[in-house]
Amino acid sequence: MNKNLFSFILPVFLISNTNVAQEATEAHKDSINTILTKYYNLNLKMFQEGSTVEDVDNAFNLFTDDFTYTHSKFNGFYTRESLYKSALRNLNEGNYDGRVTDFKIESKIIGLKAAAVQKRFVEKKGGVIVESELQMTLFEFRDGKISRIVEYW
């Protein structure tokens, strides 16, 4: 191959591959962001008065079969099955009463297979809307689903 032609092709090849990698990374971030948005929207719906088993099921459909949930402050570790049973119990006992009115997402850092989210609960307390302290949650992803959540609050 002509040395001048090679000198031209190599940079073009490298630049075009860099663009493809950047597009793939942006698509991946969009995918994780979409799952996070669904997670918070489905949880909000589940927390409302009048929510149903279907609402709980829809939220849990975002999780892998071997999903785990850890709450560091309370030393809580839950499998998908144990967390699902707890959610159904809360539903049946009327604990999903609409007190949580929103999640205020303050920031997100999205990586290749994980995301860290800073959020606040927005809740009704005594007829007044209040925001919780800032809380951090780590999400890990596999095959388009949430495989692990760790709460750091």
Which pLDDT does position 21 carry in this prediction?
43
Contact 77, 94 (CB under 8 A): no
Q: Which residue has the tokens 């095959």?
A: 143
CATH value at residue 89: 3.10.450.50
Which pLDDT does position 1 carry in this prediction?
52
Which pLDDT does position 74 carry in this prediction?
86
d(CA 145, CA 60): 10
For 23, the token pair is: 């597009």
Which pLDDT does position 22 carry in this prediction?
45
∠ CA 55-153-127 to the nearest 5 degrees?
60
Which pLDDT does position 27 carry in this prediction?
75
Which pLDDT does position 20 carry in this prediction?
43
Which pLDDT does position 29 carry in this prediction?
83
Q: Beta partners for 63?
A: 146
Which pLDDT does position 24 carry in this prediction?
43
d(CA 153, CA 134): 8
pTM as predicted: 0.81
Which pLDDT does position 133 carry in this prediction?
96
Q: In the chain, how many domains are there?
A: 1
Q: In which domain, by residue range, is 118 found? A: 3-151
For each successive 10 residues of the chain (153 residues), what is the average pLDDT? Answer: 54 50 64 97 97 98 98 92 97 97 97 96 95 97 97 94
